[in-house]
Each structure stands twice: as C-alpha cells, then as structure tokens.
A = this chain, B = another copy of it.
C-alpha cells in the first residue's frame, strides 16, 4: 500500500515539478542549515547537475547564497556550502485569536520575531476589524528591514483554502474573503488560516513536532485543535476540522461520583457539557479561584481526565505521535496534563499510547503567530 494520493488530482506540468524541487532544496536548507550541493543531491535524490541548476536559480532570486568552503578535511575537492540567506526576506504575521487585541509581528526567515505591534480591537466587528487589520499590517510592513515575502493571518473561525473566512462569530465575519481583501490593500501575498491550524503549523515547523501524527490543542477563551497527518494539514469536509471545543464531555447521566467536576454547565453554544465549559482559560480560572494548592490540583486533574477521555478516541483513530498544548502553563502544565496523559494511557491500547507524547508547547504565546508566518513560508516557498 502506497502513501501516494489515492485519487490523482490536478495536472503536473514541468514547471510544477521544478517548483517542487526548488521547495525540496529550500526545505532541506531550512531544516538542516548550510550544506554542499553534493549533499543536497544526495538528500533529494536529484543529480548534482540538477541541484546546481536549482541552486543557481535560487541564488538569482536572492534566496540562497554561497557560504565558503565546508570545514573538515575529507578526501576530494572541498565542498562549497550553500545556505539560506537570512537577509532574503521577512514575513509579517498577525494573530487574531485574542478578542481584545490584534497581535502582529515581523519575523525573519527562521521564525524569530524582529518587531512586535498590537492594536486594540475596542469592540470593533465586521469590516472595521478588517480595516484595523490592514492598518496593523501596513505598520508592520513599514517596520520590516528586508523585502516582505508575504503576510500570514491566524484567525478564529472556519476558513477555507482560499483564505475566505466562512464564519467567525466573534468578529461578525461571514463569507469574508479576508486574504483577498488584505492582499488587495497591501499588494502582497496574504495567507489566512484558522488559528488552531496555524498553531499546529508552528509546532510542526518551529516546535520540532512529528509530521506524521500531530495535534496541537490551543486553550484560550475556548479550545481549538489543529491536526497534521502525513505532513498535511487536515482541513475537514467543511473546513471545520479541529472543532473539539464543543464536544460533550460532561454528561448529566454520568459522573455522579466525579465530584470535583460537578454538573454539566451550559455552554455559549447553547448546548450543555461542552469541553469548553471546563477546559478554557476562564473556566479553569473560575474552577481554581480561591482554592488552596492541593484542592486546585484535584480540580485541574478532573479536567485533565475529561480531556484524556475526549482525546483517547482521536489519538487511537489517528495513531498520533504528538499532542502539544498551548495556553497558560500554570493551569495546563501540571496536574491537568499529567492526568490527561495518564487517562490517555489507561484508555488506549499500548501500541497507541507507547508512541504518544503529550506535552506543553515550547513556543510560548507565539504558536499561532509563528504558525501564521509558516502559512506564508509554506504558501510562497513550499517550506515548512
């Protein structure tokens, strides 16, 4: 059984193959650092001739440069190192997850934040948010010290492949072609993705997570998840993959002895017992408010158990390698995580749980932001 697409889709022109090979070279340089042309040839399976040709074209485009002779005295002609230029471009990224402020940044090739700017939303919705977003992007573009490769936006809501926000109730956006609007205003390539999907891309690219079975769980005002399988983002039938926040986890019929968790709460979505009613920053803060440490740990553990119960079927169905959580570490990193992992191990078979890790992100608060940058790298250069 091969891992290729089951159903061939779309024609492949020579130029597409060329772009693919360029991406392979960039990808290798991006993750491995400077190497020789001969090494690139061995890594990609292409010939040295073809690699030389590709490198020349990448040099012409200013993306890579020669970096002198490789150290280490081996037999044969010394290799010339080729590496990504760190002054080739920068990327503008904006994270719209927060309901109060838009957080933006200029990042360099390696995902390091060079400049930050934020704008308060001040209760704006709809077109006014789009206006404010464009303004913030203009400011950030002006702050960039090199060419801006593109703009990446991580937004809550359901977003399709073209960067149209199908629905984002918190911003009062419905069928808003956000990518097209911002791109039109700035004259730059713009890529828009769901914030949880951006977060998972951030983990994949900058967090060192596994490309063949990764789920990134973002806990903020609500809960969202992004999933990468076999190196591909899972979009879902209607672009709504990862909507784990409104799965029922507290059931009035169960849990009579799960005293710490209490009764099912009504959720903002109108239903009862959703994951978000227990696993969100406000809900967790309410839960631990005024409790002494031991009691707080028990309370967080009971939420962790529910998380484990929800994740167990997902982890089993997909045979995931990594689950990465982001959000306030003081709430998530301790008993909540430990209990979630223990519950996952209890409730899945060994072949599944043995290969699994559940951990906090190493990207801090910038998961979605750097993921938005990855949207640009991936969309413009095929690098992630």
Write the residues of chain A forming the contact surface with B, with a CB cutoff of 8 angstroms. Answer: 1-14, 16-17, 20-21, 23-24, 27, 44-46, 158-159, 161, 163, 191-193, 197, 201, 204, 210-213, 215, 225, 227-244, 246-248, 251, 253-258, 269, 271, 274, 310-314, 316-321, 346-349, 351-352, 355, 375, 378-379, 382, 384
- Apart from the given pairs A3-B232, A243-B316, A254-B258, 17 other A-B contacts in the complex at a CB distance below 8 Å: A1-B161, A1-B163, A1-B191, A8-B21, A12-B12, A12-B20, A229-B234, A239-B319, A242-B319, A244-B317, A247-B313, A248-B346, A254-B255, A254-B256, A271-B346, A311-B313, A312-B313
Q: Which residues of B contact A257 (CB under 8 A)?
A: 253, 256
Known A-B contacts A24-B11, A314-B317; A352 and B192 likewise in contact (beta carbons under 8 Å) = no
Within the complex, the shortest CB–CB distance from A272 to chain B, in Å, comes to 10
Question: Please, how many angstroms separate the alpha-carbon atoms of A278 and B318 in the complex?
Answer: 22
Assembly stoichiometry (copies): 2
Nearest opposing residue in chain B for A252, CB measure: B257
Interface of A is mostly: loop
B12–A319 touching, CB < 8 Å: no
Contact of A247 among B244, B258, B316 (CB under 8 A): B316
Within the complex, the shortest CB–CB distance from A206 to chain B, in Å, comes to 13
Q: Which residues of B contact A17 (CB under 8 A)?
A: 12-14, 16-17
Question: Please, how many angstroms separate the alpha-carbon atoms of A225 and B313 in the complex?
Answer: 11
Contact of A21 among B12, B44, B246, B320 (CB under 8 A): B12
Contact of A349 among B21, B46, B269, B352 (CB under 8 A): B269
* 19 pairs of residues in contact across A and B, judged by CB atoms under 8 Å: A6-B201, A6-B384, A7-B384, A11-B45, A17-B17, A158-B351, A212-B237, A225-B317, A227-B318, A230-B232, A232-B232, A234-B318, A236-B318, A236-B319, A239-B319, A240-B355, A243-B351, A243-B352, A244-B316
Within the complex, the shortest CB–CB distance from A124 to chain B, in Å, comes to 25
Q: Which residues of B contact A20 (CB under 8 A)?
A: 8, 11-12
Q: Which residues of B contact A5 (CB under 8 A)?
A: 231-232
B241–A319 touching, CB < 8 Å: yes
B227–A1 touching, CB < 8 Å: no
Top 9 A-B pairs ranked by shortest CB distance? A236-B319, A213-B237, A248-B347, A246-B349, A237-B321, A254-B254, A12-B17, A8-B23, A6-B384
Question: Please, how many angstroms separate the alpha-carbon atoms of A192 and B225 in the complex?
Answer: 33
Within the complex, the shortest CB–CB distance from A257 to chain B, in Å, comes to 6
Question: Please, how many angstroms separate the alpha-carbon atoms of A8 and B384 in the complex?
Answer: 9
Question: Please, how many angstroms separate the alpha-carbon atoms of A159 and B349 in the complex?
Answer: 17
Nearest opposing residue in chain B for A308, CB measure: B248
B197–A1 touching, CB < 8 Å: yes
Known A-B contacts A17-B12, A237-B321; A193 and B1 likewise in contact (beta carbons under 8 Å) = yes
Q: Which residues of B contact A243 (CB under 8 A)?
A: 316-317, 319, 349, 351-352
Q: Which residues of B contact A44 (CB under 8 A)?
A: 11
Q: Which residues of B contact A248 (CB under 8 A)?
A: 312, 346-348
Contact of A1 among B14, B159, B215, B318 (CB under 8 A): B159
Known A-B contacts A11-B24, A256-B256; A355 and B235 likewise in contact (beta carbons under 8 Å) = no
